[in-house]
């Protein structure tokens, strides 16, 4: 089977607007345009459409869902990786969080959890593994469109491409200060389930 993961379109958070609830961040107008472009680009109807519970992914998926009204839609726990405690950092800008981000990633402790509402890097990997296992259980030859988040998709790709690395090694190579996000808004990342294992498909443009 094939699974194509799609990162949500540009959100208000991506545009620099301070956020107070990570789950309810919405798309910008550019994000909605990206979502419509993704929907128009598909060449095959999916057997399943999956979204995270977060608003920006459901908004991104909406045009695709409208285009394929017969495809079943499911909401899975594939929400974005929250590694700083929300109660302390919601409403702040990225520049304010940067020193804490640097400490978190340089420590590279996959078992560390920053507090209530956050999760460890290891927990993120386990969530990704669970989602990939569910997808692998779909009928052979099926196609799933999975609307998710940048770091979740990046983690799924690390699980597949860097299966030989342990959690700490995956974490050390995960964060790239000062560089563009590993998965851009509306970018698609494909995976194929072949011979009992996942393989990464060729890169797809946003």
pTM, to two decimals: 0.92
User: Which class for 80: exposed (0-12), middle (13-18), buried (19 or more C-beta within 10 A)?
Assistant: buried
pLDDT at 206: 44
Average pLDDT over the chain, rounded to an integer: 92
- CATH number of residue 49's parent domain: 3.40.50.1240
Quote the domain boundaries for residue 97.
2-200
Quote the CA–CA distance of 142 and 121 in Å, as a whole number.
Answer: 30
- Domain assignment present for residue 205? The answer is no
Separation CA 97–CA 58 (nearest Å): 27
Is residue 176 situated within a structural domain?
Answer: yes
Asked if residue 123 belongs to a domain, the reply is yes
Q: What's the rounded Cα separation, in Å, for the pair 102 and 29?
A: 31
Q: Write out the two tokens for 35.
A: 């979502």
CB atoms within 10 A of CB 196: 6
pLDDT in tens, 121-179: 999 999 999 999 999 999 999 999 999 999 999 999 999 999 999 999 999 999 988 78
Question: For residue 78, is it within any domain?
Answer: yes
- Per the structure, how many domains does the chain have? 1
Confidence of residue 204 (pLDDT cuts 50, 70, 90): low
Q: Has residue 80 been placed in a domain?
A: yes
Residue 90 and residue 194: Cα distance in Å, rounded?
41
Look up tokens 């072949």; give the residue: 194
How many percent of the chain have pLDDT more than 70?
Answer: 97
């Amino acid at each position: 089977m094939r699974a194509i993961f799609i990162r949500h379109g540009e959100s208000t958070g991506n545009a620099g607007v301070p956020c107070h609830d990570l789950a309810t961040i919405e798309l910008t107008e550019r994000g909605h345009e990206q979502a419509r472009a993704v929907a128009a680009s598909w060449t095959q109807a999916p057997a399943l459409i999956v979204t995270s519970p977060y608003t920006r992914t459901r908004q991104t998926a909406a045009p695709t869902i409208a285009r394929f009204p017969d495809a079943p839609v499911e909401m899975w726990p594939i929400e974005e990786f929250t590694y700083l405690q929300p109660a302390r950092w919601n409403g702040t800008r990225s520049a304010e969080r940067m020193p804490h981000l640097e400490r978190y990633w340089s420590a590279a402790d996959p078992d560390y959890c920053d507090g209530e509402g956050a999760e460890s890097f290891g927990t993120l990997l386990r969530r990704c593994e669970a989602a990939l296992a569910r997808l692998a259980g779909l009928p052979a030859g099926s196609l799933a469109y999975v609307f998710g988040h940048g770091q979740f998709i990046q983690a799924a790709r690390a699980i597949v491409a860097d299966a030989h690395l342990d959690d700490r090694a995956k974490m050390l190579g995960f964060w790239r200060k000062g560089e563009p996000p590993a998965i851009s808004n509306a970018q698609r990342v494909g995976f194929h389930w072949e011979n009992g294992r996942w393989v990464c498909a060729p890169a797809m443009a946003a």
